[in-house]
Amino acid sequence: MTVQILMPALSPTMTEGNLAKWLKKEGDTVKSGDVLAEIETDKATMEVEAVDEGRIGKILIPAGSQGVAVNTPIAILLEEGEDESALASAGSAPAPAAAAPAAAAAPAAAPAPSAAPAAAAAPAPAAAAPAAAGERVFASPLARRIAEQAGVDLKSVRGTGPHGRIVKADVEAAKAAGPAKAAAAPAAAPAAAAAAPAPAAAPAPAKAEGVDAKSLADKLGMAYTAVPNSGMRKTIAKRLGEVKRTVPDYFLTVDVEIDALMKVRAELNGRSDAYKLSVNDFIIRAVALALKKVPAINASWTDEAMLQYSHADVSVAVATPTGLITPIVKKAETKGLADISNEMKALAKKARDNALKPEEYQGGTISISNLGMMGIKQFQAIINPPQACILAVGASEQRPVVKDGALAIATVMSLTGTFDHRVADGAVGAEFLAAVKKLLEDPLSMLL
């Protein structure tokens, strides 16, 4: 029978994506693992691989379509021995809320979809039974990699992806449950719920809070050009708006003298061409070590318990043409300056090329945002939830300081921490900043 290729969920929070490009055309033969298409998520462009073997019978969603909901059929695969006559009984997919380039210029023609809960985007598919001995296991490449690293047997995992495919969330659930519960099945959804219902007419998008800029501009006759929001821009607006409404934050600032750090940095950079250390690399290292000294900051708030993380996974803000993204230096407390430097350069390049994998930017236990290179002396950053802290780094500059009762000149940098008051009180935030300051002012201690 024909196989529907569905829009995959490429991250746990993805509810829709843009089908940027088809890499296969109708009539092409595909095998498991072949790259079929490129999907744009809110943070990156990802490749979609074939799970089944066969021939592309019909492409249902054309390249360039936007706002395609997860689990929407995007193509039909003909299995061995089937011809085009099988397409008649395969059905067709509903047209996505696509936006042609011409239509995108008229903002009224393609309103931005409202931020609906992920659960409302598509019905949850029923979990497939674990594979029996000798049966082929269908799993995404990311799920296979995570399973291999965690020592999870994929044959004991129930897949909840399209056609029972094992996805990242399934492996993580099996990993959390432990070996004894890896094969435990969630309650099967009723058949009626598993079947994708015919899409209802899209509701009118909810009006944004505050002043309606478009209505005001139209009313006053103000000339403007409507530039459609990217998926990343919408996500940034939604998440940061939620933070300002829900997170009780506070701000602390400390000045750090970095003359010793600059001297050590110059000496280390002169010893090898294998790395080029930046001040930011020292900051990442110092933040990671400070989190181990003040573990209360390396945590997240939940109503039931505080989640205190075992490792310092440091998210670093990188500006891209489409918006801000925070690739993660994982287990940064275990890495030296050279490793952090080289890893961060590779992550920043991938971020600017829109090539980060979800596991490279999702998660993190603390964030760093550095605007010092743009001449900003001091600023307050917005927390990246569910993290409890973000450190805003200002420019280093020569300032007058008092040492031993005498006026002197030192290279000083201001660091401002934004803290979630639910996780850490002011005294704890101050203790963390003091630990960061001490490490940066005594950089040799970071090399031990």
Q: Which residues pair with 282 in a beta bridge?
A: none
Alpha carbon distance 87, 89 (integer Å)? 5
Query: Which residues are CB-neighbours of 166 under 8 A, at least 6 positions away?
Result: 137, 138, 139, 140, 143, 147, 154, 157, 158, 159
Q: Is there a catalytic annotation at residue 421?
A: yes
Task: Name the amino acid, one letter, at 214.
Answer: K
What is the helix (H) or strand (E) element at residue 18, kind and residue range?
A: strand 16-22
Q: What one-character DSSP code corresponds to residue 139? A: B
| Cα distance between residue 367 and residue 13, in whole Å | 20
Cross-strand pairs, 256 = 413
Strand partners, 390: 367, 418
Euclidean distance between CA atoms 44 and 41, whole angstroms: 5
With residues binned 3-state (H G I as helix, E B as strand, rest as coil), the percentages for the chain, rounded to 5, are 35, 25, 45
Q: Which residue has the tokens 């969603």?
A: 61
User: Which is nearest to 396 in space by CA: 368, 415, 382, 424?
Assistant: 415
Cβ atoms of residues 404 and 312 within 8 Å: no
The DSSP 8-state label assigned to residue 191 in this structure reads H
- According to DSSP, the residues that pair with 91 across neighbouring strands are none
Taking CA atoms, 375 is separated from 51, 116, 252, 393, 394, in Å, by: 50, 39, 20, 11, 8
Q: Which is it for the CA torsion 137, 140, 145, 147, positive or negative? A: negative
From 58, 421, 422, 438, the catalytic residue: 421
* 437 membership: H or E segment, kind and range: helix 426-441
Q: How far is CA 226 from CA 64, 108, 233, 324, in A?
A: 19, 10, 14, 21
Residues 178 and 230: their CA atoms lie apart, in Å, by 39
Q: Which helix (H) or strand (E) holds 397?
A: strand 389-403
Helical residues (DSSP H) of 206-357, grouped into ranges:
213-220, 231-246, 259-269, 279-293, 337-352
List the catalytic residues. Answer: 421
